[in-house]
Structure 1
Amino acid sequence: MSNEGLIIPERSRDIGDFLVGRLIPFRKKRMVGPFIFIDHMGPTTIKKGHYMDVDQHPHIGLSTLTYMLEGELMHRDSIGTEQRISPGSVNWMVAGSGVTHTERTPNDLRDDVEFTAHGYQIWVALPKHLEDIEPEFHHIDFEQIPQWTDRNATFKLIAGKGYGRVSPVPVHSDLFMIDITSQEQYELHISGELEGEIGICIVKGSITACDDSIEQGNMLISKTEDACKITLQPNTHVLLFGGKPFPEERYIHWNFVSSSKEKLEIAKTKWNNKEFPKVPGDNTYVPLPVPRF
């Protein structure tokens, strides 16, 4: 591929009753712009006794972006937020100096209701000077997300800026995340519309780039300034994400992200000592993983 840097396959893993595909970090590409972690959740059938439940766990130095394509989740965190998320909406949690949260299947969907859960859990690293800001939470409804059509394609600007539009998600760096669907073949123009590194996650269908075909379950990494022509094949759904990379390296350990290895060690000790703030009324605790040698 002449000017595409890398094609990353989705690596599947099972977390209890939920199948998750990891896209980044990847050994050859740790970040795309400020995006440092992307998990593809599902699609999985949620039914009685099999739920999406992530117990209380911590974060520092990043913002989490939860985006559901199908199904719903209930978010609770240590700053008192309790927010249900439905398809097309965005939950944006700024961890900053430290926050804990849970994500679970809502109570009213835990009986005999059967539905599909499908979405993305994304981490965006904070700029170095903002890594220790106070935690925040923002929910943006589907109706607030900028949406438009171009020929036979539908665009949704989930976060950041691109194509002359700005999402209401309060991001802290130059980035973009765009949801694009096309029922027919569609030539995607990127030059002049987006800035920085770009990742193209193929949710459904396939794309053609630089005479190569890339199928669903893969992610293509490129540079917007020299991206070759990209064509979405019929019935294709992609997510574009990326932005300007930070000048400093980012380190990641478990759920912690920082430009400082020392801060990661401090966060690990605090979590082991149960010194992080807690989600009100929740006594669950996910232990710090023990390194394997």
Structure 2
Amino acid sequence: MSNINLIIEERPRNIGNFMVGRLLPFQGKRMVGPFIFIDHMGPARLSDHQNMDVPPHPHIGLSTLTYLFEGNIMHKDSLGTEIEIKPGQVNWMTAGSGIVHSERTPEYLRHSEKILHGLQIWVALPKELEEMEPSFFHAAEEDLPHWKSEGLSYKLVAGSFAGKESPVPVYSPLYFLEIKSTSAQKVSIGSELYGEAGLYILEGSVEGEGNTFGPKQLLVAKNSQLCEFEMAENTTVYIFGGEPLPEDRLIYWNFVATDHEHIENAKMKWQEQSFVPVPGETEFVPLPQESPNLKLK
């Protein structure tokens, strides 16, 4: 990738059942466009007695994007949504003024061996939409724009790119693009990008500026308009970014906001358990005394 401004390595974080690789936020780069949080989950191999069980927890001020490569997650939220996320599908949950959800291994898989592998992403909402009504959107894999060009396969997971638009209802100009190669190919897409851009390497390798980069690395461009790189054969990358939001964002645990008041109100509301609950769920994740997201090393 040409004009590299920053190289971010995945940093291990324990989120309970398994380790994840944290990409954003980073001490030297808190956001890329409106993208404020990215975890690479797995690949985690779970035995017949191990399951993903994340009890109900709240969010404000953001949209979550869950995109799986392997495995299955049952999503339930305080809107009454109950849906299984499968590989290649998109779960887009907009918290706005507040939403609660749980993430668990589906019942029919809880007594079998399984793999969980994917990305969990937060996209900050524009300031004027921080308090919008919460909502949920699910896109099947076949609903996402996908095409082939010059030996490469493209899929537009969210946002807009090259005149194409994902059905996922985003709230600011952004893109989240998958590119796969079967043979070595040069990629030059800078003219179609806008705002800030990051390139995450899932598998294979990328060459740029005389250097080779591999899996678990995130490359942040100095100028998205100059985005050029060489993909090795059997490589998968994700290019994401968009127009940066004009205000800084605060993060405390699962809360994102432009001011401390929104954060403190959400903390108090969760401690009092006055968020709308997830139907049928009685457990909940307690408010941490210190936000793990504040540790950006």
Instruction: Report the equivalent of 2:218.
Output: 219
Distance 2:194 2:225 in 1: 11
Percent of aligned pairs with the same amino acid: 51
Cα contact 1:256–1:267 (8 A) shared by 2: yes
Structure 1: gaps of 5 or more residues? none
Shift of 1:219: 0.3
Instruction: Report the equivalent of 1:29.
Output: 29
Shift of 1:17: 2.8
Cα contact 2:69–2:88 (8 A) shared by 1: yes
Shift in alpha-carbon separation, 1:268–1:162, aligned structure 2, 3 A:
same
Instruction: Report the equivalent of 1:266.
Output: 265
Shift of 1:150: 1.2
Cα contact 1:189–1:230 (8 A) shared by 2: yes
Q: Say which SS state the counterpart of residue 27 (structure 1) adopts.
A: coil
Distance 2:227 2:211 in 1: 11
Instruction: Report the equivalent of 1:10.
Output: 10
Shift of 1:2: 7.2
Instruction: Report the equivalent of 1:197.
Output: 196
Distance 1:223 1:258 in 2: 26
Amino acid at match of 1:76: K
Cα contact 2:158–2:165 (8 A) shared by 1: yes
Instruction: Report the equivalent of 1:49.
Output: 49
Amino acid at match of 1:269: M
Comparing 219-228 and 144-153, the one that deviates more: 219-228
Could you give the per-residue CA deviations for residues 187-220 of structure 1, whole angstroms, max 9, x where no partner exists? 1112211111111111011111222211111100
Instruction: Report the equivalent of 1:141.
Output: 140
Q: Say which SS state the counterpart of residue 97 (structure 1) adopts.
A: coil
Could you give the per-residue CA deviations for residues 108-134 of structure 1, whole angstroms, max 9, x where no partner exists? 0011x2222110110000000001000
Q: Say which SS state the counterpart of residue 192 (structure 1) adopts.
A: helix
Could you give the per-residue CA deviations for residues 29-80 of structure 1, whole angstroms, max 9, x where no partner exists? 0000000000111101122111111111000000000000111111000010
Shift of 1:264: 0.6
Pairs aligned (count): 292
Instruction: Report the equivalent of 1:89.
Output: 89
- The yes-or-no answer on 1:38 pairing with 2:38 is yes
Shift of 1:229: 2.5
Distance 1:17 1:127 in 2: 32
Distance 1:76 1:225 in 2: 37
Could you give the per-residue CA deviations for residues 222-271 of structure 1, whole angstroms, max 9, x where no partner exists? 14444353111111111111000011111111000011111111111111
Instruction: Report the equivalent of 2:285.
Output: 286
Q: Say which SS state the counterpart of residue 269 (structure 1) adopts.
A: helix
Cα contact 1:47–1:110 (8 A) shared by 2: no
Cα contact 2:18–2:44 (8 A) shared by 1: yes
Shift in alpha-carbon separation, 1:228–1:92, aligned structure 2, 3 A:
closer
Instruction: Report the equivalent of 2:102.
Output: 102
Distance 1:26 1:136 in 2: 28
Q: Say which SS state the counterpart of residue 64 (structure 2) adopts.
A: strand
Cα contact 2:193–2:225 (8 A) shared by 1: no
Distance 1:254 1:228 in 2: 33
Cα contact 1:56–1:102 (8 A) shared by 2: yes
CA RMSD of aligned residues (A): 1.5
Instruction: Report the equivalent of 1:170.
Output: 169
Q: Say which SS state the counterpart of residue 241 (structure 2) adopts.
A: strand
Cα contact 1:196–1:223 (8 A) shared by 2: no
Distance 2:274 2:8 in 1: 37
TM-score norm. by structure 1 comes to 0.96
Comparing 46-55 and 128-137, the one that deviates more: 46-55
Comparing 134-143 and 270-279, the one that deviates more: 270-279
Distance 2:159 2:186 in 1: 22
Structure 2: gaps of 5 or more residues? none
